[in-house]
Each structure stands twice: as C-alpha cells, then as structure tokens.
Amino acid sequence: MLRFIIRRLLITIPTILVVITLTWGLIRLAPGNFYTGEKKIAPEIEANIRARYGLDRPWYVQYGRTMGHILLLDFGDSLKYGGQPVNRIIARSLPVSATVGILAYLLALVVGITIGSIAALKQNSRWDYGSMTLAMLGISIPNFVLGPLLVLIFSLSLYWLPPARWNGFFSKNLILPVLTLSAIYMAYIARLTRAGMLEVLRSDYIRTARAKGLRERDVVIRHALRGGLMPVVSFTGRALAFLLTGTVVVEKIFALPGLGNYLIKASLNRDVPLILGIVSFIAITLLLMNLLVDIAYGYLDPRIRY
Amino acid sequence: MFTTLNNQDQPINQPATGDAGDFVVGSSLWKDAWRRLLKNKLAVFGLAVVATITVASFVGPPIIKAATGFTYDFMPQNVLLLKSMPPFRGPEVSLSLTHPMGTDNSGRDILARVLLGGRISLMVGLISTLVSLVIGVSYGAVAGYLGGRVDSLMMRLVDVLYSLPYIILVIVLLALFRSSTALGQLVLLFVALGAVSWLTMARIVRGQVLSLKNQEFVLAARATGVSTPRIIFRHIVPNTLGPVIVYATLTIPTVMLSEAFLSFLGLGVQAPLASWGSLAAEGIQNIAIFPWQLIFPGVTMALTLFSLNFLGDGLRDALDPQMRK
C-alpha cells in the first residue's frame, strides 16, 4: 500500500509541474500582454512595467523564478485586483465553489444511488425505463439551459427562491445552483449504479446470501450495494474534474464569486499570477483527490492488490 | 426485412440461412447491426431527430431567406432598442408565422439563428470528433501493435494527460489566443476540442488491437511480408471499427456540450455567427422579459443531445449484442 502511494506520488508531482509549465508556456506564447489595452502606452512606461514585473529578463530566468515561487505555494499578487495576493483571492473564492460543488455531489450521490438501485432491482420494469430515460435527459440538458429554466420557474414565476447572488453558506440562494449542478451527476451516478448493481446481483455471493436465508433488504443493502457501488467510487475522481467545469457555468449563471468566475476573468485580463495560481491550485487538488479515490478503492474492494 | 425480425439474436458471425433452395443469403455484421438498431425504438427516434435537425439546419436558412427574407444576421432598420418580438407575432402584434421562434434584441429572427447555430454546433461536434478519431485511432493502434516498452510509455502518457484538468487548460487557451475574427476562433475551437478528446478513443483502440494482433490473419499478413504500418492501418484498424463508431457517436454530444459550454462563457463561437451555446448566453440576459430567447435554442440543443445519446447507446447494443443486458 505504502509503495503504491509513493509510486503514485512520483507520477503526480511531475504531472502537476507539466500542467503549470503548460499554462506558463501558453501565457507566454499568446499575443499581447496584461498591460496592453485600448490605449497605446509610451515605450518608456512599457519598459518600466516590464522591468517592474521582471519581463525584461530571459525566459528561463522568468520560468525559474515563477516555478520557484509556485513550489513554495506563493503565487504573488494579482495584476488586476489592486495588487491583492493571489492566495487571498483563492482563499476567499474557494469556499464558495467548494460549498456548491460538495453539496451538489452529495445530493447527486443520494438521489443517484437510490434511483439506480431501484432501476436495477426492478430491471425492465416501467420504473427502470422511466428512470433511465430521465437519466438520459439529465445527461443531455446542458446546465446552462437547466439553470435559467429553474430560475424562470422558481424565481421569476413562483417567487419561491432568490434567482442569484451569494448570500453566505446555507442560505436559500444555494438551492438553485446546487440543483443545477447536481442534475448531470445524478444522471451519471444513477446509470453507473444500475449497471454495477445488475452485474453484482447476478454474482455467486449474492446467490449465497439469498440461499442462506437473508432478508432481501439485507442482501441488497449489505451485500449488493457494496459491490455495486464500485463504479461510482471510481467515477468520483473524474466527477471532480467535471464538477470544476460545472461550477464555472453555475457561478456565471448565478453570479457567485467562486474560483471559476475568477479564472475566466483572469484569463481574459491576462492576469498572469492569478491564472497560474488558480490553475496550479486546481491541478493539485484534482490530482490529490484522484490519489485519494484510488486508495479508497483499494480499501473498499479487497480483490484489488497494489 | 421486417418479417425476419424475430430471430435476430443469434451470434453475429453466423450467417443467416434462407429457405433451403437457390441461394444462401449471407448476413453481414453491418446489416445485422442495422436490423437490431431498427428494432430499438429509442434509437430510431434518436436517428430521426438527428437526421431532421441536421437536414433542417442545412437547408433551412436558404428556405427562410427565400420565404421571408430573414437571414441569421439580418437586422431590420426600425426596431427599438430592447424590443424583442414574441413567437408567432407579426409586426402588427397579430398572430402570424413570420417569426415562429420570435426575434432577439436586435430584431434578428431566432429561427434562422437557431438553424445556423445548429449548423455550427453539429459541425464542431463532427469535425472535432474526426480530429480526435484520427489522433486516437492512430495512437492507440500503434501503441497496441508495437507493444512492450513503447506501449507502456505511450499509455503512461495517456494516463498523465487523462488526469489533467484539460477543460481548464482549454479555457485558458481560448481566452489567451482569442482570435479577432469569428472564423479564427472557430478553428481554434476545433483544434482545442479535438486535441483533448482523443484519450479514451486511444485506450479503446489499443485494447482492441491487443486482442487482434495475435490472430491468424495478422500472422498471415506478416508472413507474406506486409509492412508494419500497412498491417496496422489496412488489416487491424478496419477490424476495430465497431467500437470506434460507437464511441465516436457518443463523443459527438460530449464535444457539442463542451463547445456550447465554451461559447456560453463567451470563449467559443462569436457574433455574428451563432451556436446553441452562444444563443443561450445571449438569451439568459433577458430571461425575465423575453424567455423565448433562451428556451428555443436551449430546448433544441437538449433534444439533439438527447437523441445523439440514445442513438449512441442503440448503436452500442446493435454492434455488440454481448454488452446488452
């Protein structure tokens, strides 16, 4: 186990460096610079700006310096947000994205697993077809269509829920963003659970459990679910990546001050330290979470040996 | 054809026998798969919807132009700012078919724009999938056929790329290299989406190739002195076509969704061109007053993706009966 973790870390760290280098390279290759705008600036001022941010040095010096700072987790100051430290911007916006993302994923797990198990237990029934069609619908409706439709119904027609804005944790404002974000995961998880459960329900150990006279409820909850949920566990790693892209859209629709919103603004503004900071942060989180999922997988499925 | 529908579930490599008599009708894999597909109601529904929307988005705009004079970028001179016409209303606010989907803020006909958006969304889906197909199939086939150290190195690279937050990189790429022309941005989009969606394809093809490369026909080809590239691309790749087609069909909606997502964020297709994502982004701004601006492109897109997904699932069941449960 320990050897597996060390080996995975040995792959993970270079991967993170590759992501950061790639982003850095993209920023350098892209035409224009953060200080180029509508107005032409005088060459002396431009030279001053370049000297101030170290842009007059050769590329390898710039690269080395940037990487050195990032390895110490110091991303520098934002160029557009009044010189605020990137770390502070991330610390402020992360809780917003994380709250919406985690709540959405939990909701998706509960609803998805329930629906998927019911569909598998009543295979080829009306329930099965109905819920799988619904799941396909959930996969096919883009979240930027679903979100506004929910707003139209629940905020602008029924006046039940606020349509947008961040209002602290656990406020009514969170309901619509969380629903919008979780729809697609519910659908995926329901499909994965159904497939996994169908496979498991046919296996020998379920027949054994039934044969020794266990109640159907115990067979399903204690035996079948544990094996049937393995695909869902391995999906969680990938889901995290989806979750990040999903929050970008949801944050835009519902005007939430989260990481995704800042990433897009930073990319359009060429706010180099902020882009690098957010991308590195996301890459590190994502890869570490993937590692955690793999480790959890090993614990949950005793057949897997590393 | 429909009279033989009942005995379809026999193994696909077993030729269907006709009445003992003049000749035996061989049933190819493709013919068999096609019959199985036609049996699947949802897949047929998907196929019909996709075909209708594809045809409509290509022949629709000229027809609208001939009938009413509206094009996707035609702006009438006399519209007031922020005056969008509801569906089924003419200029006199009486019932008419002039604008079946209403108009947008600038008075442009939404039906014409949705059809153009469909053209672009489908094109992005198709072309990016083709790009990913070419890269993925070649990469996977080469890795699988060569095997050994080359294979493990190539697949390790895929593993590394797989774990990258690639959509984040695409966002950064599109924002930084933002082209000043709408066409330039479109090309950037094709390349970016194609370049990131070939990984699963490479894995699938490699798996197929691994199981194919030790079969007799490959041995025979090698024995008769066929060169390695020719063995890979003429003998092995055609045999992986089934899974490749299925996966490509399922890639199209994913790519279209990514395109719409990027266009929605303002990084993809730009005005005066339109895609379903950019139309939704325009529509969402006036959702309280002019909801049809969002609803029509949004629902059209959802319907198309829904149909493509069902078609992909149906194809998988049809081409690989063992998978079906």
Chain segment A252-265, per-residue pLDDT in tens? 888 888 888 888 88
User: What percent of chain A stands above pLDDT 90?
Assistant: 0
- State the Cα–Cα distance between residues B11 and B27, nearest whole angstrom: 11
Q: Quick check: A268 contacting B, CB < 8 Å?
A: yes
CA separation (Å) from B313 to A64, A119, B102, B246?
A: 49, 17, 35, 8
- State the Cα–Cα distance between residues B53 and B46, nearest whole angstrom: 11
Residue with tokens 């186990």, as numbered in its chain: A1
Cβ-based contacts of A133 with chain B (< 8 Å): 42
End-to-end CA distance of chain B: 25
The pLDDT confidence band at residue A272, using thresholds 50, 70 and 90, is confident
The shortest CB-CB distance from A142 to any of B163, B172, B302 is to B302
A4 or B18: which carries more pLDDT confidence? A4
Q: Quick check: B191 contacting A, CB < 8 Å?
A: no
Alpha-helix runs per DSSP H in chain B:
29-39, 41-68, 110-146, 148-162, 166-176, 182-196, 199-212, 216-223, 228-230, 241-264, 276-284, 292-319
- State the Cα–Cα distance between residues A213 and A222, nearest whole angstrom: 14
Mean pLDDT, residues A46-65: 77
pLDDT (0 to 100) of residue B325: 39
Q: Quick check: B310 contacting A, CB < 8 Å?
A: yes
Which of B172, B249, B284, B293 best tests the A interface by mutation, with the highest count of A CBs <10 A? B172
Cβ distance A142 to B301 less than 8 Å, yes or no, reads yes
pLDDT (0 to 100) of residue B321: 54
pLDDT (0 to 100) of residue B77: 63
Cβ-based contacts of B309 with chain A (< 8 Å): 136, 139-140
The shortest CB-CB distance from A267 to any of B42, B156, B172 is to B172
Q: Quick check: B173 contacting A, CB < 8 Å?
A: yes
| Count of CA atoms in the C-beta half-sphere (13 A) of A306 | 15
Q: Residues in chain B, how many?
A: 325
B/e letters for B223-258, b = 16+ CB within 10 Å, e = fewer, are eeeeeeeebbeebbbeebebbbbbbbbbbbbbbbbb
- Distance (Å) from the C-alpha of residue A183 to the closest C-alpha of chain B? 14
Cβ distance B291 to A152 less than 8 Å, yes or no, reads yes
Contact B240, B212 (CB under 8 A): yes
Mean pLDDT, residues A160-165: 72
- State the Cα–Cα distance between residues B54 and A272, nearest whole angstrom: 42
Q: Quick check: A18 contacting B, CB < 8 Å?
A: yes
C-alpha gyration radius of chain A: 24
B126-162: per-residue pLDDT in tens? 888 888 888 888 888 888 888 788 888 888 888 777 7
The shortest CB-CB distance from B265 to any of A11, A252, A282 is to A252
A150 or B72: which carries more pLDDT confidence? A150
Q: Quick check: B281 contacting A, CB < 8 Å?
A: yes
From B256, B281, B303, select the one nearest A249 (Cα to Cα): B281
The shortest CB-CB distance from A145 to any of B165, B253, B302 is to B302
pLDDT (0 to 100) of residue B14: 46
This model of the complex carries an ipTM of 0.76
| Cα A196 → chain centroid | 23
Q: Quick check: B125 contacting A, CB < 8 Å?
A: no
The shortest CB-CB distance from B284 to any of A148, A267, A270 is to A148
- State the Cα–Cα distance between residues A222 and B75, nearest whole angstrom: 64
Average pLDDT, chain A: 80
Mean pLDDT, residues A272-298: 81
Q: Which amino acid is at B106?
A: S
pLDDT (0 to 100) of residue B8: 43
User: What percent of chain A stands above pLDDT 70?
Assistant: 93
A45 or B102: which carries more pLDDT confidence? A45
The pLDDT confidence band at residue A38, using thresholds 50, 70 and 90, is low
> Residue A3 class from Cβ within 10 Å (0-12 exposed, 13-18 middle, 19+ buried)?
exposed
Q: Quick check: A249 contacting B, CB < 8 Å?
A: yes
User: Which segments in chain B show pLDDT lower than 50?
Assistant: 1-21, 81, 323-325
